[in-house]
Structure 1
Amino acid sequence: MTLKSPRTGGLLALIAVIAVLPAFLNNAFQYEIAILIGFNAIVCIGLNLLIGYAGQISLGHGAFVGLGAYGSAILTMNQEWNPLLAMVVAAVFTGVLAFLIARPILKLKGHYLAMATLGMGIIISIVINTEDQITGGPDGMYVEGLSFMAEQTYWYWLVGVLLIFSVWASMNLIDSPIGRALRAVHGSEVAAEVVGVDTTRFKVMIFVVSAVFASIVGSLGVYYSNFVTPDIAGFFHSIELVVMVVFGGMASTFGAVIGAAILTLLPQFLTFLHDYEHLVFGLILMLTMIFLPKGLVPSLAGVFKKGDKS
Structure 2
Amino acid sequence: MKLKNHRGLIFLMLLLLIPLIIDSNYLYSTLVIIGLYAIIVQGLGILMGYAGQVSFGHAAFFGLGGYSAAILTTQFNWPSLLALLASVILPGMIALLIGRQTLKLRELYLALATLSFGILVHIFFNEGGELTGGPSGISGIPDLSIGGFSFDNDLKFYILVWILVLLLLIGIYNLVHSRTGRALCSIRESEYAAENAGIDCARLKLQAFIFSALLAGLAGGLYAFFVTFISPSPFSFHTSVQFVLMAVIGGLGTFWGPVIGAAVVVAINELLREIVPILIPGAGGEYQIIIYGIILVGLMIFQPKGLSSITQYFRLPLRKELKTGVK
**Which of the five TM-score ranges fits, normalised by the shorter chain?**
over 0.9
Higher mean displacement: 52-61 or 137-146: 137-146
| Pairwise CA distance, 1:304 | 3.0
Contact 2:56 2:240 in 1 (8 A): yes
Amino-acid identity (%)? 38
Higher mean displacement: 269-278 or 284-293: 269-278
In structure 1, which of residues 281, 292, 301 is the aligned counterpart of residue 311 of structure 2? 301
Counterpart residue type for residue 41 of structure 1: A
TM-score by length of 1: 0.95
| Pairwise CA distance, 1:204 | 0.4
In structure 2, which of residues 164, 186, 191 is the aligned counterpart of residue 189 of structure 1? 191
Q: Which residue of 2 aligns with 1:89?
A: 86
| Pairwise CA distance, 1:51 | 0.8
> Aligned partners of 1:305 and 1:67: how far apart in 2?
42
In structure 2, which of residues 202, 214, 222 is the aligned counterpart of residue 220 of structure 1? 222
Contact 2:66 2:222 in 1 (8 A): yes
Q: Which residue of 2 aligns with 1:280?
A: 291
Higher mean displacement: 8-17 or 281-290: 8-17
> Aligned partners of 2:99 and 2:230: how far apart in 1?
26
Q: Which residue of 2 aligns with 1:113?
A: 110
Counterpart residue type for residue 248 of structure 2: V
Q: Deviations over 1:84-130 (max 9, x none)?
A: 11111222121111011111101111111110110111111111111
Contact 2:87 2:220 in 1 (8 A): no
Counterpart residue type for residue 194 of structure 2: A
In structure 2, which of residues 97, 100, 124 is the aligned counterpart of residue 103 of structure 1? 100
Counterpart residue type for residue 277 of structure 1: Q
> Aligned partners of 2:318 and 2:293: how far apart in 1?
33
Contact 2:95 2:210 in 1 (8 A): yes
Q: Which residue of 1 aligns with 2:261?
A: 259
> Aligned partners of 1:172 and 1:282: how far apart in 2?
35
Contact 1:129 1:230 in 2 (8 A): yes
In structure 1, which of residues 211, 214, 219 is the aligned counterpart of residue 213 of structure 2? 211
Counterpart residue type for residue 287 of structure 1: G
Q: Deviations over 1:259-295 (max 9, x none)?
A: 1011111122222213332222111111111111111
Contact 1:46 1:213 in 2 (8 A): yes
Contact 2:19 2:28 in 1 (8 A): no
Counterpart residue type for residue 21 of structure 1: P
Q: Which residue of 2 aligns with 1:75?
A: 72
Contact 1:63 1:232 in 2 (8 A): no
**Structure 1: where are the runs of 5+ without partners?**
none
TM-score by length of 2: 0.90
> Aligned partners of 1:260 and 1:170: how far apart in 2?
17
> Aligned partners of 2:263 and 2:20: how far apart in 1?
16
In structure 2, which of residues 10, 18, 26 is the aligned counterpart of residue 29 of structure 1? 26
> Aligned partners of 1:27 and 1:21: how far apart in 2?
8
Tell which structure's C-alpha radius of gyration is larger. Answer: 2
Query: Which residues of 2 match residues 7-86 of structure 1 at below 5 A?
Result: 8-23=6-21, 25-86=22-83
In structure 2, which of residues 292, 298, 301 is the aligned counterpart of residue 290 of structure 1? 301
In structure 2, which of residues 179, 182, 186 is the aligned counterpart of residue 177 of structure 1? 179
Contact 2:56 2:111 in 1 (8 A): yes
Counterpart residue type for residue 142 of structure 2: E
Contact 1:38 1:160 in 2 (8 A): yes
Counterpart residue type for residue 299 of structure 2: T
Q: Deviations over 1:120-158 (max 9, x none)?
A: 111111111111210001111112223511232111110
Counterpart residue type for residue 211 of structure 1: A
| Pairwise CA distance, 1:2 | 2.1
Counterpart residue type for residue 281 of structure 1: Y
Contact 2:50 2:188 in 1 (8 A): yes
| Pairwise CA distance, 1:252 | 1.1
What secondary structure, in the 3-state scheme, does the structure 2 residue paired with 1:81 have? coil
> Aligned partners of 1:293 and 1:156: how far apart in 2?
31
Counterpart residue type for residue 273 of structure 1: V
Q: Deviations over 1:169-216 (max 9, x none)?
A: 111111111111110110111111111110011000011011000101
> Aligned partners of 1:202 and 1:68: how far apart in 2?
23
| Pairwise CA distance, 1:309 | 4.7
Counterpart residue type for residue 312 of structure 2: G
Counterpart residue type for residue 9 of structure 1: R
